[in-house]
């Protein structure tokens, strides 16, 4: 069990490491925005006219606030949705969109008109493209990329509109379209990079969750194995102890010395059962078919049931032989507990053509309405047998016809190499 938990623990550390690396990378990506904006500031300082200090300071302040809100949006979106009930944006998102709009307006008012083609030749388009790309990148942390890119279409539309508003000539139209396309490509690169990084984080998170679920399932499977084995081991042992104790008491009342021998058998059964329980808990227990058949003869005869074993114990692979041994044990336990049988027959038959091994246990003491007959499909013991047989490619069938109850188990005839 310890070896199964280590991969989950290692992966959990890896997932945290990937999240930390991605978070720092996206924060660093946002911090590139001021460096792109420096071009617009340089263009403002390079004009012949002395710029007003007030509008320039407002633009600089808005730029810093915009960077802070992008960082805040990424921080929130990393761990939870960016919208609340009824798809309302969270306050940090609403503030980011408002400040982005303010940056666009102030850039159009304060910055000079285009002096060339493309983003590098238009300070206003550069500022609008940078603000729009940073905003869409922040939203892409927890928003589908299609929706982000659809919202981002507003950026080239604004860029083209601003260029045409300043000079609606034929040459400007082509330049405006090129600038708008450049702004959208810039936005596409920024948002897609963020979305790809978050996709990797989401995949790692899902893998981490799957590993943890696998570890929990392994624990649950081990608990089921122990419960199933305890049911089979303790159930058979207690049934045998009860039968032999009853026989010993009856012999003792008649003064028959064989009662002491029966009590010795009870003591041996208790000691053997204790060892088996310890092995079950340790996970090292395996049943032996020949031993179980001998035990079945002893227990059934002590219960006053005539037993006959027909066929030879086959040479099977350990898993198949182990599964059949458990079938014998559970079948005998059910006969002692739930039936009024006087006769029992155990048939071992290996098919020549397919090599399939068939084990059939039948008795004449079926009681309709008693657990194990009326509840054939729901009994814990039979469910456990089906699980054991299914694990080795086998199957289990049960049938009751009048007072006749037949349990049939089939396993592939795979011999140990």
Residue-wise pLDDT tens digits, 227-237: 766 666 666 67
- DSSP SS3 for 318: helix
State what percent of residues in the chain have pLDDT above 70. 79
- Res 408: pLDDT: 93
100's tokens: 């982005």
**Predicted confidence band at 46 (pLDDT cuts at 50, 70, 90)?**
low
Does 8 have pLDDT greater than 70?
Answer: no
CA distance 37 to 28: 15
pLDDT in tens, 210-220: 877 776 776 56
Is the confidence at residue 1, as pLDDT, over 50? Answer: no
First vs last Cα of the chain: how many Å apart? 28
Q: Strand 357-363 and strand 404-411: pairing?
A: antiparallel
pTM for this model (two decimals): 0.55
Residues with Cβ < 8 Å from 254, sequence gap 6 or more? none
Q: What mean pLDDT is predicted for residues 364-373?
A: 58
- Range 307-327 average pLDDT: 86
Which residue in 224, 128, 215 sits closest to 176, CA to CA?
128
Confidence category of residue 134, pLDDT binned at 50, 70, 90: very high
| Mean pLDDT taken over the chain | 79
Residue 387 burial by Cβ neighbours in a 10 Å radius (0-12, 13-18, 19+) = middle
pLDDT for position 417:
46
Q: How confident is the model at residue 96 (pLDDT cuts 50, 70, 90)?
A: very high
The pair of structure tokens assigned to 399 is 């049938």
Q: Is 341 helix (H, G, I), strand (E, B) or coil?
A: coil
Higher pLDDT, 194 or 257: 194
355-369: average pLDDT: 81
Would you give the DSSP letter of residue 51?
P
Share of the chain above pLDDT 90, in %: 20
List the single range of 62-76, 157-171, 183-197, 280-294 with lowest mean pLDDT.
280-294
Q: Give the other-Cβ count within 10 Å of 190's Cβ.
A: 25
Would you state the structure tokens that stand for residue 378, as one six-digit string? 């729901």
pLDDT at residue number 3: 37
pLDDT digits (tens, 9 = 90+) for 79-91: 888 888 777 888 9
List the one residue out of 267, 249, 270, 268 whose CA is nearest residue 259.
249
Contact status, residue 346 vs residue 361, Cβ threshold 8 Å: yes
Q: Give the pLDDT band (50/70/90) at residue 47.
A: low
User: Residue 206: pLDDT band by 50, 70, 90 thresholds?
Assistant: confident
């Amino acid at each position: 069990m310890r070896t199964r938990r280590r991969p989950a623990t290692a992966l959990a550390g890896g997932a945290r490491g990937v999240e930390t690396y991605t978070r720092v990378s996206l924060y660093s990506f946002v911090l590139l925005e001021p460096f792109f904006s420096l071009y617009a500031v340089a263009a403002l300082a390079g004009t012949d006219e002395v710029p007003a200090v007030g509008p320039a300071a407002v633009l600089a302040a808005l730029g810093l606030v915009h960077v802070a809100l992008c960082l805040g949006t990424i921080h929130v979106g990393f761990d939870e949705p960016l919208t609340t009930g009824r798809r309302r944006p969270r306050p940090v998102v609403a503030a980011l969109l408002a400040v982005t709009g303010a940056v666009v307006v102030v850039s159009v008012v304060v910055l000079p008109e285009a002096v060339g083609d493309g983003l590098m030749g238009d300070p206003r388009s550069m500022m609008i493209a940078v603000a729009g790309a940073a905003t869409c990148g922040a939203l892409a942390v927890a928003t589908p990329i299609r929706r982000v890119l659809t919202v981002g279409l507003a950026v080239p539309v604004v860029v083209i509109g601003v260029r045409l508003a300043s000079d609606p000539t034929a040459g400007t139209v082509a330049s405006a379209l090129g600038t708008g396309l450049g702004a959208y490509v810039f936005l596409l690169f920024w948002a897609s990079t963020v979305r790809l990084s978050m996709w990797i984080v989401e995949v790692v998170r899902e893998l981490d969750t799957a590993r943890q679920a696998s570890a929990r399932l392994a624990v649950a499977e081990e608990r089921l194995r122990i419960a199933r084995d305890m049911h089979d081991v303790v159930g058979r042992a207690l049934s045998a102890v009860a039968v032999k104790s009853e026989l010993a008491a009856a012999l003792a009342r008649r003064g028959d010395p064989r009662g002491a021998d029966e009590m010795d058998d009870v003591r041996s059964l208790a000691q053997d059962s204790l060892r088996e329980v310890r092995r079950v808990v340790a996970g090292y227990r395996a049943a032996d078919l020949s031993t179980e058949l001998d035990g079945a003869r002893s227990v059934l005869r002590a219960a006053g049931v005539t037993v006959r074993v027909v066929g030879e114990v086959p040479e099977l692979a350990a898993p198949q032989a182990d599964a059949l041994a458990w079938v014998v044990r559970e079948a005998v336990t059910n006969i002692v507990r739930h039936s009024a049988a006087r006769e029992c027959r155990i048939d071992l038959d290996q098919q020549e053509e397919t090599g399939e091994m068939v084990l059939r246990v039948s008795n004449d003491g079926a009681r309709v309405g008693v657990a194990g007959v009326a509840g054939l499909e729901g009994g814990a013991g039979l469910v456990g047998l089906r699980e054991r047989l299914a694990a080795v490619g086998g199957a289990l069938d049960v049938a009751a016809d009048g007072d006749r109850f037949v349990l049939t188990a089939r396993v592939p005839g795979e011999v140990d190499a």
